[in-house]
Amino acid sequence: MIDPTKTSVMGVVTEALPNTFFRVRLEDGTELLSYLAGKMRMNRIRVLIGDKVKLELDPYGGKGRIIQRM
Protein backbone atom coordinates (compact mmCIF):
# COMPACT_ATOMS: atom_id res chain seq x y z
CA MET A 1 0.00 0.00 0.00
CA ILE A 2 1.17 3.55 -0.78
CA ASP A 3 2.06 5.67 2.25
CA PRO A 4 0.14 8.98 1.86
CA THR A 5 2.62 10.88 4.06
CA LYS A 6 5.45 10.16 1.63
CA THR A 7 5.45 12.69 -1.19
CA SER A 8 8.07 11.17 -3.48
CA VAL A 9 8.90 7.53 -4.20
CA MET A 10 11.11 5.61 -6.61
CA GLY A 11 9.89 3.22 -9.28
CA VAL A 12 10.65 1.50 -12.59
CA VAL A 13 8.73 2.17 -15.81
CA THR A 14 7.06 -1.03 -17.00
CA GLU A 15 4.84 0.24 -19.84
CA ALA A 16 4.69 3.34 -22.04
CA LEU A 17 1.18 4.54 -22.91
CA PRO A 18 -0.04 7.33 -25.23
CA ASN A 19 0.09 11.04 -24.27
CA THR A 20 3.18 10.65 -22.03
CA PHE A 21 1.42 8.33 -19.58
CA PHE A 22 3.40 5.47 -18.05
CA ARG A 23 2.72 2.47 -15.86
CA VAL A 24 5.29 2.43 -13.06
CA ARG A 25 6.08 -0.36 -10.58
CA LEU A 26 6.94 1.18 -7.22
CA GLU A 27 9.51 -0.16 -4.75
CA ASP A 28 6.80 -1.91 -2.73
CA GLY A 29 5.51 -3.78 -5.81
CA THR A 30 2.35 -1.78 -6.56
CA GLU A 31 1.72 -0.49 -10.08
CA LEU A 32 0.64 3.10 -10.59
CA LEU A 33 -0.48 5.12 -13.60
CA SER A 34 1.82 8.14 -13.96
CA TYR A 35 2.24 11.12 -16.24
CA LEU A 36 5.28 13.19 -17.21
CA ALA A 37 5.83 16.49 -15.40
CA GLY A 38 5.64 19.70 -17.42
CA LYS A 39 9.35 20.57 -17.04
CA MET A 40 10.29 17.14 -18.39
CA ARG A 41 7.98 17.66 -21.38
CA MET A 42 9.39 21.14 -22.01
CA ASN A 43 12.99 19.91 -21.96
CA ARG A 44 12.08 16.81 -23.99
CA ILE A 45 13.45 14.31 -21.47
CA ARG A 46 12.92 10.81 -22.85
CA VAL A 47 11.56 8.14 -20.52
CA LEU A 48 11.78 4.55 -21.72
CA ILE A 49 10.69 1.17 -20.39
CA GLY A 50 13.09 0.02 -17.68
CA ASP A 51 14.11 3.54 -16.58
CA LYS A 52 14.25 4.26 -12.86
CA VAL A 53 12.17 7.33 -12.08
CA LYS A 54 11.26 9.49 -9.10
CA LEU A 55 7.51 10.07 -8.65
CA GLU A 56 5.54 12.65 -6.78
CA LEU A 57 2.34 11.08 -5.47
CA ASP A 58 -1.11 12.63 -5.65
CA PRO A 59 -2.41 12.96 -2.06
CA TYR A 60 -5.83 11.69 -3.17
CA GLY A 61 -4.49 8.39 -4.56
CA GLY A 62 -5.06 9.03 -8.25
CA LYS A 63 -1.95 9.26 -10.39
CA GLY A 64 1.73 9.87 -9.90
CA ARG A 65 3.79 12.57 -11.61
CA ILE A 66 7.24 11.63 -12.93
CA ILE A 67 9.58 14.41 -11.82
CA GLN A 68 13.01 12.90 -12.43
CA ARG A 69 14.68 10.14 -14.42
CA MET A 70 17.61 8.42 -12.73
Instruction: Burial-class residue 29 by CB neighbours within 10 Å (0-12, 13-18, 19+).
Output: exposed
Q: Are 58 and 46 in contact (CB under 8 A)?
A: no
- Asked whether residue 62 is assigned to any structural domain, the reply reads yes
- Asked whether residue 65 is assigned to any structural domain, the reply reads yes
CA separation for the pair 42, 36 (Å, rounded):
10
Q: Are 13 and 48 in contact (CB under 8 A)?
A: yes
- Asked whether residue 3 is assigned to any structural domain, the reply reads no
pLDDT, position 32:
93
Looking at the structure of the chain, the number of domains it has is: 1
pLDDT, position 39:
92
pLDDT, position 18:
93
- Asked whether residue 2 is assigned to any structural domain, the reply reads no
User: Average pLDDT for consecutive 10-residue bins of the chain (70 residues)?
Assistant: 69 95 94 93 94 90 90
pLDDT, position 54:
96
Dihedrals φ, ψ of 11, to 5°? Answer: -160, 175
pLDDT, position 61:
72
CATH code: domain of residue 46: 2.40.50.140
48's CB contacts (< 8 A; 6+ apart) are 13, 16
Whole-prediction pTM: 0.85
* Residue 14: domain span: 8-69
